[in-house]
Chains A and B, each alone.
Chain A
Amino acid sequence: MTYLTVTNVNKRFGGIRALADCSFSINQFEASCVVGPNGAGKTSIFNVVTGFITPETGRIEFKGADITAMDRHARVKAGIARTFQNLRLFDTLSVLDNVMICLGDEAANDPLTAVFRPFHTQAVLRRKRDAAMHLLEQVGLAHKANDQAINLSYGQKKLLCIARVLATEAELLLLDEPTSGLAAGALDSMVELIHNLKAQKKTLLVVEHNTKIVKRIADEVLFFHRGTLLAKGKPDEIIANKELGKIYFGEGA
């Protein structure tokens, strides 16, 4: 059984074909990198898989179930979570609250329970706080737990986005350019974090521009062009392919 399968998906925005009969699949527990020139449809693929856009035709299957018509929220429950190219956080909340709020625990979220079972709610909240702190330690932000999210540096915000995605307990993580704009040190910790996630049996689909990073993190590379999958293979094969290189840098377009 393939893990995530996208079959013949089409999506137009006005006259532009963002996805043109796009089909691909990825394997569980691997990191697959999505690469391609600008306008190749990388972010559209993320949007289709996470339910931010509905394809005109085609089918998306996750672990054998058809999720094409599922709403965004249900997809998160099913185990698919994503980050965004433009960071999205709850700016007005603390770093810890940003993570805690994403931990799914209905008991503590129901205000009636909070009123009628205060001790239970307190216990749940303690557990959530511990879980959130653990996630922050994992991404290296534990020391910033009480800062307001808006006051973090760019790199720290990116790490917080990942902690937030992890808090949803999703097993398939879609990371949209997790390393772009990061300084060398922050870049290395992001790569290390991605390796740790793989070790924790997460499946990753990552949009990545930097070929050096692709080599370091990817098990498989999916090369997209004009909204469709052009090539798929090991990182070294794809990167060494001269034809793809021309397309990537614009000469073959």
Chain B
Amino acid sequence: MLYLQLVADGVVTGCAIGLVSVSFAYFYATTGIFHVAHAGIYTLCGYVAWYLTGIGVPFPLALLASIACGALVGAGIQATLYRQLDKKGASPLVKLIASIGVLTTLQNVVAILFTPNIVQFDLPWRLARVTIGGLAFSVPQVLVLVFSVVLFAGIVAFSKYTTLGKRIRAVASNPALAEITHLHPQKVFIYVIAIASGLVAVPGVLIGVDQALQPYTSLIILLTAVIAMIAGGIGSLGGAFIMSIVLAVVQSLSVAFVSGRWSVAVVFGIFVVFILIRPEGLFRHKFNRAI
């Protein structure tokens, strides 16, 4: 039963990381920008929701507001920073460094505006527990599970069936060609980052509710998400989501065998071995950017 509970906890955490991974992969596959600042938006959104519930805003509204905030900040980063760098012909490395700059700025702005300390949501229901088939979950965990699956299915359907989704896939599959059609890649980039940043707000808030918020912890979550994206095959949203769950389950299960301090090292060690054996990822046959 202990193992099953560990697996269940891993699946929940994996779903949350899955959303981070999918949203990161969506933006990366479309623009080619290694948007590390995504972790900063994750943090910011968590704190915005925490602040709003703190001043008495109902939780659903606070969640919506933080999604909107994430989308706006993301769009702002694209419109001001990445677009300008694109215009200047900056290399991917320059964009990555700029993104790290934004991440550090966002983390520190959060620490200054709100607090640098660990905080918890003041919501009475966050400690309530439900039991499903002998496995115990907290209410925030159930929310994570439901939101992640629904949003993941939503983004896949969006990408496949809507006009904007197809435009995004077109830009991802051939950016240079998109530029000489009526596709407006720069506009598409803004939509993509707004969608990705709105999405990442959800795990940002829900994990914060389930555990706690701290301005500087989001990077390790992003790192796991990025590993899941690479292991899942860049450009495969399903691969990123599934690998996130696999990684989180491995990390969760490892606690049963080694000290908890080792769990992160175990996951990353497995990743290093995995990438040596299968550098192209699990679900893609070669490194190309496609959604």
| Residues of chain A at the chain B interface (Cβ within 8 Å) | 50, 72-73, 75-77, 81-82, 88-93, 97-98, 101-105, 108-109, 111, 114, 121, 125, 164, 167-168
Contacts A108-B163, A114-B162 known; A89 to B177 CB distance under 8 Å? Answer: yes
Q: Is the CB of B166 within 8 A of A82?
A: no
Say whether B180 faces chain A, with CB atoms less than 8 Å apart.
Answer: yes
- Residues in A neighbouring B181, C-beta threshold 8 A: 76, 101-102, 164, 167-168
Say whether B83 faces chain A, with CB atoms less than 8 Å apart.
Answer: no
Say whether B122 faces chain A, with CB atoms less than 8 Å apart.
Answer: no
Q: Is the CB of B163 within 8 A of A73?
A: no
Q: Is the CB of A72 within 8 A of B180?
A: yes
The answer for the CA separation of A197 and B183 in the assembled complex, in Å, is 24
Q: Is the CB of B174 within 8 A of A101?
A: no
Say whether B290 faces chain A, with CB atoms less than 8 Å apart.
Answer: yes
Give how many A-B residue pairs fall within 8 Å (CB-CB): 70
Query: Which B residue sits closest to A170, measured CB to CB?
Result: B180
Q: Which residues of B in the span 160-204 have a Cβ within 8 Å of any Cβ on A?
A: 162-164, 166-167, 169-170, 172-174, 176-184, 191
- Residues in A neighbouring B183, C-beta threshold 8 A: 101-102
Q: Is the CB of A92 within 8 A of B177?
A: no
Say whether B291 faces chain A, with CB atoms less than 8 Å apart.
Answer: yes
| Residues of chain B at the chain A interface (Cβ within 8 Å) | 162-164, 166-167, 169-170, 172-174, 176-184, 191, 290-291
A87 CB, min distance to chain B CBs, angstroms: 10
Q: Is the CB of A92 within 8 A of B163?
A: no
- Residues in B neighbouring A92, C-beta threshold 8 A: 169, 172-173, 290-291
B279 CB, min distance to chain A CBs, angstroms: 22
Select one of A76, A97, A111, A114 contacting B182, CB under 8 A.
A76
The answer for the CA separation of A90 and B180 in the assembled complex, in Å, is 12
Contacts A72-B179, A73-B180, A73-B184 known; A125 to B173 CB distance under 8 Å? Answer: no
The answer for the CA separation of A111 and B162 in the assembled complex, in Å, is 9
Query: Which B residue sits closest to A128, measured CB to CB?
Result: B163
The answer for the CA separation of A14 and B164 in the assembled complex, in Å, is 41
- Residues in B neighbouring A114, C-beta threshold 8 A: 162-164
The answer for the CA separation of A24 and B174 in the assembled complex, in Å, is 32
Select one of A91, A121, A167, A168 contacting B174, CB under 8 A.
A91
Select one of A50, A98, A101, A121 contacting B180, CB under 8 A.
A50
- Residues in A neighbouring B173, C-beta threshold 8 A: 90-93
Q: Is the CB of A109 within 8 A of B169?
A: no
Q: Is the CB of A90 within 8 A of B174?
A: yes
Contacts A90-B174, A91-B290, A114-B162 known; A81 to B169 CB distance under 8 Å? Answer: no
Contacts A108-B163, A114-B164 known; A90 to B182 CB distance under 8 Å? Answer: no
- Residues in B neighbouring A103, C-beta threshold 8 A: 182
The answer for the CA separation of A203 and B173 in the assembled complex, in Å, is 29
Q: A90-B178, A102-B181, A109-B164 are in contact. List 8 more A-B contacts (CB 8 A).
A: A77-B182, A88-B174, A91-B173, A93-B173, A101-B166, A101-B170, A102-B183, A104-B182
The answer for the CA separation of A88 and B171 in the assembled complex, in Å, is 12
Q: Is the CB of B169 within 8 A of A168?
A: no
Q: Is the CB of A93 within 8 A of B163?
A: no
Q: Is the CB of A93 within 8 A of B166?
A: yes
A165 CB, min distance to chain B CBs, angstroms: 9
B257 CB, min distance to chain A CBs, angstroms: 41
